[in-house]
Structure 1
């Protein structure tokens, strides 16, 4: 029988920042917590909470099925270890498909789904999803470039359920015995109440708050931690939090580099790379972002990868044997950068706040990587640590 709260756990997440967010919850509880990209062989170490990043949020249904296939063999090798399915807190991505596939792999007939995080102002009450009291379709997520929120109903957001029944449970309702069950909760105490009703034969799925109660960890204040003094911050999203960071950094000196997601002359990328390298080598902060322009997602992805490869390679090659801090906004951007760096497994070393996590890999001991979901804010302690002088440069 699977037991929650033990030394070994497996979590399946669909993007890197979500995976890191869940690994951080385990780290808070005193467990060894690692994030592992599923493209590499899965090596579950003893006394480990392992979070698998499938990087499948933006993939097609067929691509998602192909990504999840190798996980089935790995999971079947560990029948006594609990499995949790991390989903996006506002149900973006191939949520229902991944839930159904994973439940089938594990032989589950009931999926208890609680995606919202009341601790972060994200609630579901009366079949309506709200963020800080505002219906979801009236928030910034209505203009999400890949998964615009056009409804406030969690049932609508979940979409097609691939032959599974779906139901909604308010507080106090009896749980159905099978199917996908969306759990209402607008308070942390309600999340805790639902967590106590999870049975060994259920697939528990959702966000950070649900997992925290299942594992039995408590939120703690960040401990003192010294980051490397040279930071390259890559902004891979167009969330309003991107601009809020720039406002918070006013009065400091940093290098702000903006490239096009559509096309850049090679000399512009080279200039960007050398400028970023010079700045972070002088104990400063370089920020690389991409302007808001109309372009196809495929061409943008290729151009962004080309630019990031050049900037990261130049920055790291010029800083050999020097500790570097790489801060990344957005799960897709984090996954791309880990691919560029060929890093498969990273261990949590510091938590700055919900969803904002620093990690390291044995492959690159001089590199500290901090990630956060695009819609989350950078914690004040991190903003303060980023840099002390404003140089703005567009290329």
Structure 2
């Protein structure tokens, strides 16, 4: 069995889709149990949203529990843009695993996310100059990958190209200008290394282990009632939702003044009621964020996730929904945690990163996840 630790829920789902693509059976769980019969086990954490201390503790605990299962190896799934506590998590996992070095390959050239001579580029523009999620990095961070994984680890990190001598210890970050480099790095892995990085690197590793099967494509038999939860701040995603609303689709934005009222629970109840009524009238409903009156409110991202999680639970108690589709890893984790869903079985990779799954605790509803920076596939986005 191959084990994977992901730092967010949509990343875990993406890994699950890649395992399916390569002919592996896969289970996604939110904690480590004992009895698994799958080829690939993915543990979905929420460490990207945690502080350093909490993130490291969770990675330490999960790594120790996975090692007891005796996996062939453990892959650390990171964000392809190196957001989150990359260095902090890898440092503690490296120590627990007893490995000498990390081979970190986060780039995804097929999406124009490349690393060349230690500089991260998106669409051929240095990442920090592209303003693509730039506000999610610490002030002063450059597009140099040695800065991006955290200043505390710069002295033990190295930017290396294929063919160059690899240091004996530390964090080795692979330059990856092309898709072919991904397979090159997969061939470099040995027993002294902790492999880590994005979904594309994991795909290359699985291709090395086992050739793709001639898999039969499962037809998408989409359920009648579908609720879309769009929790991403990514501008292209928000524009897609706006276009649906302009075209007459059923879109209910989070109430703008939801944080301004002392009794905001009543506002949440009212919004949940509106969503439930909309679902009774329409087969597809979107809930999303537009503008919020957030003056003097602390920790807006956390509050938004909390409200989405609360509203979804209330709606699902009132209306039978056959398809729940969630955009954004932190939003997804908050929702499934509130619903007490723990174990998932990916069934279809609808597009890269867009994964449809069965839920062990809810047999009559499918869950589809998508990272905020990816695009919905047309097969499920028709209003």
Same fold (TM over 0.5): yes
SS at match of 1:123: strand
State the shift of 1:365 in Å. 1.0
Deviations 1:143-169 (A, max 9, x none): 435667942111110113459721111
Query: Does structure 2 retain, via aligned residues, the 8 Å contact 1:55–1:335?
Result: yes
Q: Secondary structure at the match of 2:12?
A: helix
Counterpart mapping for 1:321-332 below 5 A: 322-332=320-330
Q: Is the 8 A contact 1:241 1:376 kept in 2?
A: no
Where does residue 82 of structure 2 map in the other structure? 91
Tell me if structure 2 keeps the 8 A contact 1:349–1:358: yes
Give the distance between the partners of 1:17 and 1:329, measured in 2 at CA: 8
> Relative to structure 2, which stretch is displaced further, 232-241 or 81-90?
232-241
1:243 aligns with 2:245: no
Equivalent position to 1:25, from 12, 15, 18: 18
Secondary structure, aligned partner of 2:80: coil
Runs of 4+ in 1 over 6 A off after TM superposition: 219-222
* Alpha-carbon distance in structure 1 between the residues aligned to 2:137 and 2:270: 31
Query: Is 1:169–1:175's contact at 8 Å kept on the other side of the alignment?
Result: yes
Q: For the aligned residues, what is the CA RMSD? A: 2.5
Question: Is it true that 1:262 corresponds to 2:253 in the alignment?
Answer: no
Is the counterpart of residue 370 in structure 1 residue 368 in structure 2? yes
Closer/same/farther in 2, CA of residues 291 and 245 from structure 1, 3 Å limit:
closer
1:351 aligns with 2:349: yes
- Gapped runs of 5+ residues in structure 1? 1-7, 388-395
2:224 alignment partner, one of 215, 229, 235: 229
Contact 2:308 2:331 in 1 (8 A): no
Query: Residues 1-395 of structure 1 correspond to what in structure 2 (within 5 A)?
Result: 8-38=1-31, 41-145=32-136, 150-162=141-153, 165-216=156-207, 223-249=218-244, 250-260=246-256, 262-263=259-260, 265-293=264-292, 294=294, 299-301=299-301, 303-319=303-319, 322-384=320-382, 387=383
Q: CA, structure 1 residues 87+367, in 2 after alignment: closer, same or farther (shift >3 Å)?
A: same
Residues 159, 297 of structure 1: alpha-carbon distance in 2 compared, 3 angstrom cutoff:
farther
TM-score relative to the length of structure 2: 0.89
Aligned length: 374
Deviations 1:108-135 (A, max 9, x none): 0011110011111110112221112122
Residue-by-residue CA offset, 1:274-326 (whole Å, 9 max, x unaligned): 1111222334322222344446785435643553344223321222xx44211
Contact 1:329 1:372 in 2 (8 A): yes
In structure 2, the CA distance between the partners of 1:335 and 1:80, relative to structure 1 (3 Å rule), is closer
Partner Cα separation in structure 1 for residue 135 and residue 202 of structure 2? 26
Q: Secondary structure of 2:47's match? A: coil
Show structure 2 runs of 5+ residues with no match.
none
Provide the C-alpha distance between the structure 1 equivalents of 2:153 and 2:121, rounded to a whole number of angstroms: 26
Cα 1:296–1:84 change in 2 (3 A) is farther
1:232–1:336 Cα change, 3 Å: same
How much has 1:273 moved relative to structure 2? 0.8
